[in-house]
Amino acid sequence: MITEALEPHQPLLSVRDIDKSYGGLRAIDGVSLDIKRGEIVALVGDNGAGKSTLIKMICGALRPDGGEILLRGAPVSFGSPKDATDSGIETVHQSLGLVETLNVPENVFLGREKTFRVFGLFNQLDLPKMRAETRRLLEKFRISVPTLNEPVFRLSGGQRQTIAISRLLLSEPDVIIMDEPMAALGVDEGRQVMDLVVNLRDQGIAVLMISHNLEHVFQIADRIAVLKNGRLVGVVATAETSREAVVAMITLGAA
């Protein structure tokens, strides 16, 4: 991706005054949000606040009714999730999208398998190449899994989550969006995923992460964006706020 031209303080991704209604219900109402390179922004709010609706518009799964999305300062209009991934925005959904019976490299390369031509006639999977590239990717992001060769159902929940994220890193995205990446994970497994998210941030990726777990949010997010009833209550720097203040924003809608 071409991000060199970006000014240091220019946001990588901006959402400006965006709206989305489902029938008569305003699920997102005039929301604006910026995310910079090398920053983790947590998106929090009660059930039904509009978090998933907002990220679906950013990742091309839903079209906004109004407002705009800017990437590297230029307006973008995504007709599909593929448009967003082609622009450098990758999304991890709650259903991780792994095939449980396939091993780690097969999952990492799912849908973009490496092949070579045999006798100039047919394509054969290049397993050694996929394995080597998977190993390189896991090393780069310091992801540890016990073995690459076992089907992923043998891995822990945290390991599966890190594999689901590492798949996306293959395309070297600028922005990663995650819907509840640490939900339903135990303490150690949650820690493993949080370490990876911090690692992505430190490599210059802009991370937007939905989470209900304020403990996780306060451990890793640089800024916290609070939604209530489709509106942005506010965006606060984690270092300059408290758990109580964020809870008040979520429940009362007051900054």
Residues lying near ligand ATP in the complex (CB under 6 A): 22, 25, 27, 45, 47-53
- Helix axis angle, 157-169 to 127-140, nearest 10°: 100
Indicate the helix (H) or strand (E) that contains 30.
Answer: strand 25-35
> Residue 78 contacts by C-beta under 8 Å, 6 or more apart in sequence?
59, 60, 63, 69, 84, 87
Pick the stretch among 3-11, 48-56, 63-71, 232-240 that binds Mg ion (CB under 5 A).
48-56
Site for Mg ion in 65-124 (CB under 5 A): none
Cβ closer to Mg ion: 52 or 134? 52
CB of 51 to Mg ion, least distance (A): 5
CB of 246 to Mg ion, least distance (A): 18
Binding mask 145-174 for Mg ion (x = CB under 5 A): ------------------------------
Whether 161 and 181 have beta carbons less than 8 Å apart is answered as yes
Cβ closer to ligand ATP: 50 or 88? 50
- Helix axis angle, 157-169 to 187-202, nearest 10°: 20
Cβ closer to ligand ATP: 48 or 67? 48
CB of 56 to ligand ATP, least distance (A): 8
* Site residue total, Mg ion (CB under 5 A): 1
Binding partner selected for residue 255 from ligand ATP, Mg ion, none, CB under the kind-specific 5 to 8 Å limit: none
Question: Does the protein bind Mg ion through residue 211 (CB under 5 A)?
Answer: no
Cβ closer to ligand ATP: 49 or 220? 49
Environment class of 76 (CB within 10 Å of its CB; exposed 0-12, middle 13-18, buried 19+): middle
CB of 231 to ligand ATP, least distance (A): 12
Give the other-Cβ count within 10 Å of 101's Cβ. Answer: 10
Binding test (CB under 5 A) with Mg ion, winner from 33, 41, 50, 52 = 52
Cα 129 to Cα 124, 166, 172, distances in angstroms: 12, 16, 18
Binding partner selected for residue 190 from Mg ion, ligand ATP, none, CB under the kind-specific 5 to 8 Å limit: none
- Give phi and psi for 123, each to the nearest 5: -90, 135
Cα 209 to Cα 93, 103, 125, 127, 128, distances in angstroms: 11, 27, 34, 33, 34
Residue 65 amino acid letter: D
Given the rule CB under 5 A, which residues bind Mg ion? 52
